[in-house]
Amino acid sequence: MYPKEYRYTEEHEWVHVADGVATIGITEHAQDQLGDVVYVELPDVQSQVEASQSFGTVESVKAVSDIYAPISGEVIKVNESLVDKPEKINSDPHGTAWLIKVRMTDASQLESLMTAEKYQQYIAAETES
If you average pLDDT over residues 41-54, what whole number do you get?
A: 98
Q: Please state the φ and ψ torsions of residue 33, each to the nearest 5 degrees.
A: -70, -35
Give residue 55's pLDDT band: very low, low, confident or very high (50, 70, 90): very high
Q: Are strands 54-60 and 64-68 parallel, antiparallel or unpaired?
A: antiparallel
Give residue 116's pLDDT band: very low, low, confident or very high (50, 70, 90): very high
Q: What is the pLDDT of residue 110?
A: 96
Collapsing DSSP to helix, strand or coil, 109 comes out as helix
How many of the other CB atoms lie within 10 Å of CB of 24? Answer: 28
| Helix (DSSP H) and strand (DSSP E) numbers for the chain | 4, 9
* Cβ 24 vs Cβ 14: under 8 Å: yes
- pTM score, two decimals? 0.96
Q: Which domains does the chain have, with CATH numbers?
A: 7-128 (2.40.50.100)
Nearest partner of 32 among 60, 66, 57, judged by Cα = 60
